[in-house]
Structure 1
Amino acid sequence: MAVVAWGRFFARAWLCRRAWQGCSRQYRAAFCAELKQPLAIEKVDHRPVCPHEVRVNVHFCGVNFADILVCRGQYQEEPHLPFTPGMEFSGIVLETGTDVSTVKEGDRVIGVCGFNGMAEECITDQKSLWKIPEGVALREAAVLPISYGTAVLALEHRARTQPGETVLVTAAAGATGLAMIDVATNVLQAKVIAAAGNEQKCKLAMQRGAQSSVNYSQGSLKEAVRKLVGSGGVNVVIDTVGGDVFLEALRSLAWEGRIVVVGFAGGTIASVPANVLLLKSISATGMSWGQYKNKNFSLFSSILSSVLRYCQQGRIQPYIGAEFKLEEVNDAFLHVTRRKSTGKVLLSLK
């Protein structure tokens, strides 16, 4: 497989060199040429934009665990090698195709691009871009698409969270967890119990708006939640961990509580005990952020527009835990996989 991958890589490189004979400039991009190997920084020849496409000068790109999984061959989508990872970015429009009407040259935008954001330039469909309103910086805007899009979808659309309800958020100090706390507390006026794996992360979650916290490495999550809210339980759980943490969180729900499965950062997918659902009339639902772009684009787009508006209004405050240069992309990946990260990890392309 490695021979085939490298063969494709050099074939692509040859084609790029051929194409460059009539081109005037190149840009740098992170390339995954072989799965489970460090990324390389390569120079790429820019291509013309198609009528519906937009060329963006990328300033910041989010580093997500899904980027790492796809570079390991462990993600549900498997782009052909070699490819550039990076699912979300912020930047400035450089060029538009002849049929583009939604943005123009010079506009500041966020983008959701599949796998090509970790590059100094990105070409994407106009439908994958949203204008950044005045008052929102490019750096903070890059945090919004995945983490905050997921938070709003999970809390508003799937869990139907109401003001005054209590929400339990697992992996609360991660990018998605902190976004959940921010949206639940400051947009939906809910109360948040933050669950995390160490005291430092619990402290950060409290600083970012959680009313209370639980360190689930120190004992039973269910019992800790019971001490905080009593036997009634919490109204909503947003779980990104899976495994035993999911099961403990499920049993922490109140009558007619709702649990939303967002991911399995712990590496284990738990089986749902149906009797628990029955006894408390619990609703267990899932939420795959990326699928909404294909399955319900109008909802997907409206939520990203809402997130940008919340940020402009100062109702949410994106938290950036670490920032790396493009040439430090492998260090950024290690920072995430070693569980050192809190909040969003960004690549700075400028």
Structure 2
Amino acid sequence: MQAWQVHENGEPSEVMRLQDMETPTPGDGQVLLKVRAANINFPDVLMTRGQYQVRPPLPFTPGVEICGETEDGRRVIANPALPYGGFAEYAVADAVGLLPAPDSLDDAEAAALHIGYQTGWFGLHRRAALEAGETLLVHAAAGGVGSAAVQLGKAAGATVIGVVGGAEKVPVARELGCDVVIDRRSEDVVARVKEVTGGRGADVVYDPVGGEAYTQSTKVVAFEGRIVVVGFASGVIPSPGLNHALVKNYSILGLHWGLYATKNPKLILRCHEQLTDLAARGAIKPLVSERVPMAGAADAVQRVGDGVTTGRVVIVPSLEAGSQENGAAA
């Protein structure tokens, strides 16, 4: 089979190599999956660089989220067991973690449903207890993680303010359902949020960026508001001033979604059932901006790492080399 391998840590475009390999053999409790589509996540970039909390032994195949097919023909969503990741024709996954792929989504959309939407659901509902009528602020609203939070926020009945980085991302965020879109490159985020909320601020802030985005969050969070810390795509981990949280009466909530797989896995299944229902009703639909063939994976991972993509970029092994599909189903 063909698979992308990382033999040394570095930038994806420089260290990912497409190679012919033996098809992996599943271990105890694992299954072999034919990869129908593999979604690119920011952790794939960080693992390639050697900067993620999980560091698989070299060499390894990246790809932590796929829509795959079992040997008996079932279409499933899975998180591959590294080092046999999803940027390959076949991957290995733990049988207990397999989830049925929703019939309402195609392979690329199903591959992008799991991590981002589960993270959004746990962050907004389990951690922040978002209520209908509240105001939700989403940083990086046109990105893969942010776009899921926008859709989930709208489905929950919230007013959604999206912050994006660049004029080209503004219409994307509007199309996702944002009631207000702020371009942080040309607008004052703090002043604009205060303007559109009548000075009250946002009840819930969803932050996968960190750095300056987090600083802005502390300035616009409402009384008894909640800031959900999801990640640090900016590369800067904030050092929050707890005295500020005290005097403004807001909460700082951490979210490490992966912990639920060991601490309370039943919640993941319950969440998937709700996401499947929302997808069937058309309330959520992963924004797949690009479907790329296997040969284009390294370049695609690099672009995700560089922050120049919108929505989700998904590798579809069945696409022929040299072809690429934007938006429309493969």
| TM-score, length of structure 1 as denominator length | 0.86
2:133 match: 164
1:98 match: none
1:201 match: 169
Unaligned runs of 5+ in 1: 1-26, 95-104
Question: In structure 1, what is the Cα distance between the partners aligned to 2:302 and 2:229?
Answer: 25
The alignment status of 1:32 with 2:6, answered yes or no, reads yes
The alignment status of 1:144 with 2:113, answered yes or no, reads yes
Contact 2:8–2:58, Cα closer than 8 Å, also in 1: yes
1:76 match: 53
Question: In structure 2, what is the Cα distance between the partners aligned to 1:49 and 1:35?
Answer: 26
2:325 match: none
CA RMSD of superposed structures (Å): 1.5
Q: Secondary structure of 2:214's match?
A: helix
How much does 1:51 deviate?
5.0
How much does 1:91 deviate?
1.8
Structure 2 counterparts to residues 259-270 of structure 1, below 5 A: 259-270=227-238
Structure 2 counterparts to residues 178-217 of structure 1, below 5 A: 178-186=147-155, 188-217=156-185
Match of 1:86 among 63, 69, 72: 63
2:76 match: 109
Question: In structure 1, what is the Cα distance between the partners aligned to 2:92 and 2:78?
Answer: 10
Which residue identity does 1:111 align to in structure 2?
A: A
Contact 2:108–2:291, Cα closer than 8 Å, also in 1: no
Contact 2:208–2:231, Cα closer than 8 Å, also in 1: yes
Contact 1:113–1:128, Cα closer than 8 Å, also in 2: no
2:210 match: 242
Match of 1:118 among 76, 87, 97: 87
Task: Go from structure 1 to structure 2 and tell me whether the alpha carbon gap of 1:79 and 1:161 turns closer, same or farther (over 3 Å shift).
Answer: same
How much does 1:219 deviate?
4.3
The alignment status of 1:347 with 2:315, answered yes or no, reads yes
Q: Secondary structure of 1:61's match?
A: strand
Q: Secondary structure of 2:196's match?
A: helix
Q: Secondary structure of 2:217's match?
A: helix
Match of 1:135 among 104, 108, 111: 104
1:228 match: 196
Q: Secondary structure of 2:131's match?
A: coil
Contact 2:112–2:312, Cα closer than 8 Å, also in 1: yes
Which residue identity does 1:311 align to in structure 2?
A: A
Write out per-residue CA displacement over residues 58-97 of structure 1, whole angstroms, 9 at most, x where no aligned residue: 1100111110111111111111000011000002111xxx
Divergent runs of 4+, >4 A: none
Which residue identity does 2:75 align to in structure 1?
A: R
Question: In structure 2, what is the Cα distance between the partners aligned to 1:48 and 1:265?
Answer: 34
1:6 match: none
Match of 2:284 among 310, 316, 320: 316
Question: In structure 2, what is the Cα distance between the partners aligned to 1:109 and 1:268?
Answer: 35
Task: Go from structure 1 to structure 2 and tell me whether the alpha carbon gap of 1:241 and 1:51 turns closer, same or farther (over 3 Å shift).
Answer: closer
Q: Secondary structure of 2:136's match?
A: strand
Percent of residue pairs bearing the same amino acid type: 33
Which residue identity does 1:30 align to in structure 2?
A: W
Q: Secondary structure of 2:92's match?
A: strand
2:143 match: 174
Write out per-residue CA displacement over residues 294-332 of structure 1, whole angstroms, 9 at most, x where no aligned residue: 222121232233222321232212111122111211110
How much does 1:141 deviate?
0.5
Which residue identity does 2:119 align to in structure 1?
A: T
For the pair shown, the structure with the greater C-alpha radius of gyration is 1
Question: In structure 1, what is the Cα distance between the partners aligned to 2:198 and 2:75?
Answer: 48
1:153 match: 122
Unaligned runs of 5+ in 2: 319-330
Question: In structure 2, what is the Cα distance between the partners aligned to 1:214 and 1:140?
Answer: 26
Write out per-residue CA displacement over residues 243-299 of structure 1, whole angstroms, 9 at most, x where no aligned residue: 122111122011100000001111111111222211221110111122222222121
Task: Go from structure 1 to structure 2 and tell me whether the alpha carbon gap of 1:47 and 1:158 turns closer, same or farther (over 3 Å shift).
Answer: same
Which residue identity does 1:31 align to in structure 2?
A: Q
1:23 match: none
Task: Go from structure 1 to structure 2 and tell me whether the alpha carbon gap of 1:139 and 1:278 turns closer, same or farther (over 3 Å shift).
Answer: same
Question: In structure 1, what is the Cα distance between the partners aligned to 2:308 and 2:271?
Answer: 29
Contact 1:242–1:269, Cα closer than 8 Å, also in 2: yes
Structure 2 counterparts to residues 43-54 of structure 1, below 5 A: 43-54=20-31
Contact 1:144–1:308, Cα closer than 8 Å, also in 2: no
